[in-house]
Homo-oligomer: A and B are copies of this chain.
Amino acid sequence: MMNPALRDAVYRANRRLAESGLVHGTFGNVSGVDRAAGVFLIKPSGVAYDALTPDGLVAVSLETGHAVGGDLRPSSDAPTHLEIYRGFDCGAVVHTHSRHATTLAQARLPLRCMGTTHADYFRGDVPVTRPMTPEEVEGAYEANTGLVIVETFRAGGLSPNEIPAVLVANHGPFTWGADAFEAVERAEVLEYLAEIEIGLRAIAPGAERPADVLVDRHYRRKHGPKAYYGQRQP
């Protein structure tokens, strides 16, 4: 049986995504997983955010990738979410076509870690995937999108926990997190950072990177056993 709090959390995260300005029309989607129950909940395909209800979220099996009950079809991106859940240890996935992150994805440029605002959330560059092959596009395209995302982290030796975001080449960003709220927050910060990166590339393409110690210091202020940001007890 599915965690009863999940449906509400995923519903509210989809609404917050709509209010964030990161998605246009019916673009974008949020999902959240209950690994014990073996399902994830995702936005139905092509439904406007203001017509969305908690009951309209579609449950998809982690094992088969098929919808479980309900009348609505899941987001056409559901197989991408599925492969991210299979490949990474996370609780929620967000996909947007937010303007600045999509610009970088279309430029096939990573979102470089150029400052502490970035390092507070992502420990290093947010990578861009390789372009997909014609076979990958013409086959199980959405599942292959997820597989290319996972490959990008494995082949690059990157940690999906420390860098919980990716730019899919000529497509757009995906983020993930422990829960739907965190994954949406990261999608918002990613867009914020992408806007800064585009301005930076426009006026100072050769700008020097910050020292690794500065990136690590900021990342570890907020993450891991020595974090000292916020009100969490040490």
Contact A228 B76 (CB under 8 A): yes
Residues of B within 8 A of A232 (CB): 46
Interface size of A by Cβ–Cβ distance < 8 Å?
Answer: 63
Given A132-B214, A192-B24, answer yes or no on A46-B231 (Cβ-Cβ < 8 Å): yes
Whole-angstrom CA separation of A226 from B114 in the bound complex? 43
Whole-angstrom CA separation of A134 from B120 in the bound complex? 18
Residues of B within 8 A of A151 (CB): none
Residues of B within 8 A of A202 (CB): 198, 201-203
| Cβ contact of A115, chosen from B116, B171, B196, cutoff 8 A | B171
Which one of A5-13, A33-41, A60-68, A95-103 is at the interface?
Answer: A95-103
Contact A109 B203 (CB under 8 A): yes
Contact A221 B72 (CB under 8 A): no
Q: Say yes or no for A53: interface residue by CB 8 A criterion.
A: no
Q: Mark A7-33, 1 if CB is under 8 A from B, else 0.
A: 000000000000000001111000000
Q: Say yes or no for A163: interface residue by CB 8 A criterion.
A: no
Whole-angstrom CA separation of A214 from B168 in the bound complex? 12
Which one of A82-90, A153-161, A204-212 is at the interface?
Answer: A204-212
